[in-house]
Chain A
Amino acid sequence: DADVTQTPRNRITKTGKRIMLECSQTKGHDRMYWYRQDPGLGLRLIYYSFDVKDINKGEISDGYSVSRQAQAKFSLSLESAIPNQTALYFCATSDPGLAVTDTQYFGPGTRLTVL
């Protein structure tokens, strides 16, 4: 969905390097999420934010940090990358509306390889 963009789309880096993955959205949604996808494990939530002042850890936040710079921007950082952080990373947004959890809209993903 072009409304949710991620940069870079692909990145190869070395162990110990600091990496930032960026997500921008034009959907006007307050809620934003970062997931990683690994084969056989599905998507696992790293961090989520329900508004600019709200940041929450997901199930696998160790080794990651985030920054919500604006309603439209949510960045994920790997402070010191390690090989088991090699994965496909997705950003998503949602607008809760009347539902407890509403549809999430995903970006195209960033394929990160840590050597």
Chain B
Amino acid sequence: AQSVSQHNHHVILSEAASLELGCNYSYGGTVNLFWYVQYPGQHLQLLLKYFSGDPLVKGIKGFEAEFIKSKFSFNLRKPSVQWSDTAEYFCAVGMDDYKLSFGAGTTVTVRA
């Protein structure tokens, strides 16, 4: 079965701390990888995506993610978070069946 796992359900950190959110998937074929963010009361927005090429991709608002094929992982990072990064973050994986599979999401709370 295809699945997407996000390791942390809730992360709490202070402003200026570094953030890393884990995402692993179980699928042996070609994948397209995404991170979406959902700010409180808003809809999902794309943070970044990986299709091919350089496995380190940069997105909006200072986020980046690294695809490690051998580990089936696509972890999201930000060196220094801000209060405005408080949100829920979803990893999503597109596989050969043309659909996206989402992880359960990680709630990030940044304390001022």
Contact = CB atoms under 8 A, between A and B. Distances in A.
B32 interface: yes
Given A58-B99, A103-B46, A42 B32 contact: no
Interface stretch (B12-20, B63-71, B76-84, B100-108): B100-108
Interface string A31-53: 10101000011111100101000
Interface string B88-108: 001010111011101111000
Interface residues of B, number: 26
Interface stretch (A67-75, A76-84, A106-114): A106-114
A102 B32 CA distance: 8
Interface string A8-41: 0000000000000000000000010101000011
Interface string A87-115: 00010100010011111111111000000
A103 B34 contact: yes
Given A100-B96, A103-B34, A42 B103 contact: yes
A103 B47 CA distance: 10
A97 B92 CA distance: 18
Given A40-B104, A42-B105, A100-B98, A109 B49 contact: no
A62 interface: no
26 contacts: A40-B104, A40-B105, A42-B4, A42-B105, A43-B90, A43-B92, A43-B102, A44-B102, A48-B99, A90-B43, A92-B44, A96-B98, A99-B94, A100-B30, A100-B32, A100-B96, A100-B98, A101-B94, A102-B94, A103-B46, A103-B49, A104-B100, A106-B45, A107-B43, A108-B42, A109-B43
Given A99-B94, A108-B43, 5 more contacts: A42-B90, A42-B102, A45-B99, A58-B99, A101-B95
Top 7 nearest A-B pairs (CB, nearest first) are: A101-B94, A43-B102, A42-B102, A42-B104, A106-B44, A106-B43, A108-B43
Interface of A: 1, 31, 33, 35, 40-45, 48, 50, 58, 90, 92, 96, 99-109
Interface of B: 4, 6, 9, 30, 32, 34, 36, 42-46, 49, 51, 90, 92, 94-96, 98-100, 102-105
